[in-house]
Amino acid sequence: METGNPLQGLIDTAADSAAGLQTHTSPPTPPVRLLALDAHGRVLEWISWQQASCLYSRDAVAWTLGEPCIRVRGGTNRLSGLRSHLDLHPIIAARGHARTRAIDPTPHLSNGALFARDHFLCLYCGQPFARSQLTRDHVVPLSHGGADCWENVVSACSHCNARKAARTPAQARMPLLAVPYSPSWVEHMILSNRHILADQMAFLKAQLPRRSRCSQ
């Protein structure tokens, strides 16, 4: 982009009178994340508007989906007096090779994604809880050789976690309400972002494996 001043980091999100975008002088809250794909349409990761702007500026965008959702404004051209801008789309396919992890790897285990997988329910008492009230419980305790992996962890409220202690559900007579599982990469993408745009969600749901719990 040809500009007289460096990029000011001013972005628009929603509807400007001319382009259907809404003007902001700072990043939106909550921040909008864009869905990055490889050129073949395989899901890679969530990226920020700054990372997306770099792809557009380097002409590394192969194709896009959805109407522009963010406008990034730059500086003003001294000769024309026009201000430069980039219109960013919610789904961006980048040129280049796909990352290895794009071929449905095992997602990173985090409490946020775990609680989202279990729909913010304690899988022992079945009650819903806020994120701050949930804990990560190991079905087979670590002290018994259990692993810290998706298939061995569930969301549990503090009371149930303390009651179960270093025992298995059978030993504690606390049956699980659901079997823990490892989400696919696409499921993980849905679980790890609480502010997904409609176009992004529609694309991700179309990639979900059959009988995925995220499609409910």
Please give the residue that has the higher pLDDT: either 73 or 177.
177
**Residue 198 confidence (pLDDT):** 94
**Residue 2 confidence (pLDDT):** 33
Confidence of residue 25 (pLDDT cuts 50, 70, 90): very low
Confidence of residue 78 (pLDDT cuts 50, 70, 90): confident
**Residue 99 confidence (pLDDT):** 57
SS in 3 state form for the chain? CCCCCCCCCEEECCCCCCCCCCECCCCCCCCCCEEEEECCCCEEEEECHHHHHHHHHCCCEEEEECCCCEEEEEEECCCCCCEEEEEECCEEEECCCCCHHHCCCCCCCCHHHHHHHCCCECCCCCCECCHHHEEEEECCCHHHCCCCCHHHEEEEEHHHHHHHCCCCHHHHCCCCCCCCCCCCHHHHHHHCCCCCCHHHHHHHHHCCCCCCHHHC
Mean pLDDT lowest among 51-65, 74-88, 97-111, 154-168: 97-111
What does the pLDDT average to over 67-92? Answer: 88
Contact 157, 127 (CB under 8 A): yes
Token digits of residue 87: 């219109």
Residue 156 has pLDDT above 90, yes or no: yes
Please give the residue that has the higher pLDDT: either 89 or 82.
89
Residue partners of 55: CB distance under 8 A and separation at least 6: 36, 61, 92, 94
Please give the residue that has the higher pLDDT: either 140 or 80.
140
Quick: pLDDT tens for 101-153. Answer: 545 577 889 999 899 999 999 999 999 999 999 999 999 999 999 999 999 99
Query: Can you list the domains of the chain with their CATH numbers?
Result: 1-105+184-216 (no CATH), 111-172 (1.10.30.50)
